Amino acid sequence: MLGRNVIKMIKGKGVSAGIGFGNIVILKNEVRKIEKNIIEDSEKELEKLHKALQEVIDETNQIVEKATGTEKEIMTAYLMIMQDPSLISETENQIKNSKINAEYATETGFNSVIQIFENMDDEYMAGRARDIADIKDRIIAKLYNEEKIDLSKLKPNTIIVAKELTTSDTAKLDFKNISGIITEVGGENSHTSIMARTHLLPAVTKVENATTILKNGEYVAINGGSGEIFENPTEEQQQNLIKIQKDFIESKVELEKYKNLESKTKDGFKVELVSNIGTPADVELVLKNTAEGIGLLRSEFLYMDSEEMPTEEEQFNSYKEVAEKMQGKQVIIRTLDVGGDKEIKYLKMEKEANPFLGYRAIRLCLDNSQIFKPQIRALLRASAYGNIAIMFPMISSIEELRRAKAVVEECKKEFDNEGKEYKKDIKIGIMVEIPSVAIIAEEIAKECDFFSIGTNDLIQYTVAVERGNEKISNLYSKYHPAVIRLIKSSIDGAHKAGIFCGMCGEAASDELLIPLLIGLGLDEFSMNPNKILNSRKIVNDLDKKECEKLAEEILKLGTTSEVEEKLKEFNKKVV
């Protein structure tokens, strides 16, 4: 018979290498259905409501006591909302007069207050609706005796288990206390997997029924390379895993000698190895790995990390911090790329049948100057403090690029009138992630300063395979000949117009692809900071002429498997 202490090994897909040991915390993110019931004893129900509210107030008080600065101010204001008797008066009425259970009365009573706030003209007051919704969720969780897990405050050595982690959940995670992530769904190129790799956090996905098989508090070991999860691992298993971890660390130490070296091939072709980051805190990793700049700052993480739209001032401070820390090295900041798998609650985006083909990124920004302009203004202001370049995501045509550039021009004029400083010749580039743009690369390149190929999206739009859809993930390949030809078209188009072409999709650090990309003439490779040293080692071992020959041969091939085979053959010979 299987008891709980029997050792079991569960297998999923490893998406971020490394070994982690720790205790499970299961995140249930399905929406709870709140039942409506008629109660007899309204006094008892009111007592339940007041007790739940008091517990939430007590917890918040503890946070206020420990907080300092802006956090203290925010939490004090939040506490005042909770202590205002009018907050729960509608809920109390429903319990007293209509004899409705406390859970349902809280849901509907609070929703009417939330609506009043949402309809207020004052932006600050309208923003408080989110605080009230949060208080409502916390009270309801108490009434159901559930503990709402605060993702930003976890116990040391926590292994997070969830059906799926949203990108905004991942953005809130308390990384220093997490030893691993296990999810039931999610692909190698999902933003959660990308973030896990940035933080060197072991992660395993595609673990069927993980949230029911694994139990809260259970001790497990996870191998983010092989995708194995060991429940209650034996001493021997733990020792094996520690050995794997030791080798993993040693291979990282071995790469240390590539720190601060130039990124150039044996025959002297120099490329830029730069990094992808999400927040100013990631700059530490960029510097540690001696990347030559930042090729992609995904600015949406600043928006996802916050409960409401970050102001121009807040954005300016973040961009300035990154620019200053990078000390004159190029920092390419991408304007808001929301939509697809990146949801921001307070933007209240409508549900669409095909979000990846929908109203997202630059499309949404161009229609909403109250979102777009503060970001452009913040970027221009920060450009006075370092080498910032602006990049637009999801550009599909020259018309769109012109509209986006017109907004930058409008902000520059405002600054000229206001006498504000900014980098007059700030570079403006685009992500090449929609096939239409790769095809008209030569024409569109004449109107911008650089390209960065976003293979994560370019692949999905070329082969019509959603990047996170596991059922068809076998069709999503960076080695597809059509993807390779679009990359070539983008690089050639950029070079004909005299601009540089980079790549910031995950393919830029793929060991097999790097020689081909060098052969095609890619100028800049932007990647997870932890991949810089390994990529520099590969580049230093290559010969540009041999890579060009490889590219010539690859461009004649018609199938994905032939391309992959040829790349593997080259890799065995050279690297």
The option from Mg ion, ligand PEP, none interacting with 505 (CB < 5 to 8 A, set by class) reads ligand PEP
Rounded to a whole number of angstroms, the minimum distance from the CB of residue 230 to ligand PEP is 31
Question: Rg for the chain (alpha carbons), in Å?
Answer: 26
Complex with ligand PEP: residue 10 or 165, whichever CB lies closer: 165
Contact 49, 56 (CB under 8 A): no
Complex with ligand PEP: residue 308 or 433, whichever CB lies closer: 433
Complex with ligand PEP: residue 422 or 461, whichever CB lies closer: 461
Complex with Mg ion: residue 202 or 454, whichever CB lies closer: 454
Cα angle 467, 473, 476; round to 5 = 65
Residue 428 φ/ψ, nearest 5 degrees: -125, 125
Complex with ligand PEP: residue 504 or 518, whichever CB lies closer: 504
Contact 214, 231 (CB under 8 A): yes
Site for Mg ion in 373-392 (CB under 5 A): none
Tokens of 58: 């007590």
Rounded to a whole number of angstroms, the minimum distance from the CB of residue 276 to ligand PEP is 7
From residue 449, how far is each of 249, 429, 432, 500, 504 by CA, in Å? Answer: 39, 5, 13, 7, 16
Complex with ligand PEP: residue 228 or 337, whichever CB lies closer: 337
Asked if 457 interacts with Mg ion (CB under 5 A), we say yes
Rounded to a whole number of angstroms, the minimum distance from the CB of residue 564 to ligand PEP is 20
Options 191, 199, 448, 501, the catalytic residue: 191
Rounded to a whole number of angstroms, the minimum distance from the CB of residue 391 to ligand PEP is 10
Q: How far is CA 531 from the centre of its chain?
A: 17
Stretch that binds Mg ion, among 13-21, 92-100, 289-297, 427-435 (CB under 5 A): 427-435
Contacts with 23 (C-beta within 8 Å, 6 or more apart), sequence order = 155, 157, 158, 159, 217, 218, 219, 220
Calpha distance 217→26 (Å, rounded)? 9
Contacts with 531 (C-beta within 8 Å, 6 or more apart), sequence order = 197, 509
Applying CB under 6 A, among 224, 295, 505, 515 the residue interacting with ligand PEP is 505
The option from ligand PEP, Mg ion, none interacting with 455 (CB < 5 to 8 A, set by class) reads ligand PEP
Asked if 298 interacts with ligand PEP (CB under 6 A), we say yes
Buried/exposed code over 131-168 (b: 16+ C-beta within 10 A; e: otherwise): bbbebbbbbbbbbeeeeeeebeebeeebbbbbbbbbbb
Site for ligand PEP in 397-456 (CB under 6 A): 433, 454-456
Contacts with 145 (C-beta within 8 Å, 6 or more apart), sequence order = none
Complex with ligand PEP: residue 22 or 393, whichever CB lies closer: 393
Asked if 551 interacts with ligand PEP (CB under 6 A), we say no
C-alpha count within 13 angstroms, C-beta hemisphere, residue 503: 31
Options 365, 411, 448, 504, the catalytic residue: 504
Buried/exposed code over 373-400 (b: 16+ C-beta within 10 A; e: otherwise): bbbbbbbbbbbbbbbbbbbbbbbbeeeb
Applying CB under 6 A, among 333, 504, 533, 567 the residue interacting with ligand PEP is 504
Rounded to a whole number of angstroms, the minimum distance from the CB of residue 393 to ligand PEP is 7
Asked if 337 interacts with ligand PEP (CB under 6 A), we say yes
Give the position of tokens 């990047």: 467
How many residues interact with Mg ion (rule CB under 5 A)? 3
Calpha distance 320→407 (Å, rounded)? 20
Rounded to a whole number of angstroms, the minimum distance from the CB of residue 298 to Mg ion is 9
Stretch that binds Mg ion, among 303-311, 421-429, 448-456, 549-557 (CB under 5 A): 448-456
Kindly write down the DSSP assignment for every residue of 135-183, as one continuous string: HHHHHHHHHTT-PPP-TTS--SSEEEEES---HHHHHH--GGGEEEEEE
Calpha distance 320→423 (Å, rounded)? 13
Q: 504 an active-site residue?
A: yes
How many residues interact with ligand PEP (rule CB under 6 A)? 10
- Pattern 268-297, ligand PEP, x by CB under 6 A: ----------------------------x-
Site for Mg ion in 85-124 (CB under 5 A): none
Residue 457's nearest CA partner among 355, 387, 374 is 355
Rounded to a whole number of angstroms, the minimum distance from the CB of residue 12 to ligand PEP is 22
Complex with ligand PEP: residue 231 or 433, whichever CB lies closer: 433
The option from Mg ion, ligand PEP, none interacting with 298 (CB < 5 to 8 A, set by class) reads ligand PEP
Complex with ligand PEP: residue 173 or 296, whichever CB lies closer: 296
Kindly write down the DSSP assignment for every residue of 58-115, as one continuous string: HHHHHHHHH--HHHHHHHHHHHHHHH-THHHHHHHHHHHHH-B-HHHHHHHHHHHHHH
Asked if 300 interacts with Mg ion (CB under 5 A), we say no
Residues that bind Mg ion (CB under 5 A): 433, 454, 457
Q: Which positions lie near ligand PEP, rule CB under 6 A?
A: 296, 298, 337, 433, 454-457, 504-505
- Residues carrying an active site annotation: 191, 504
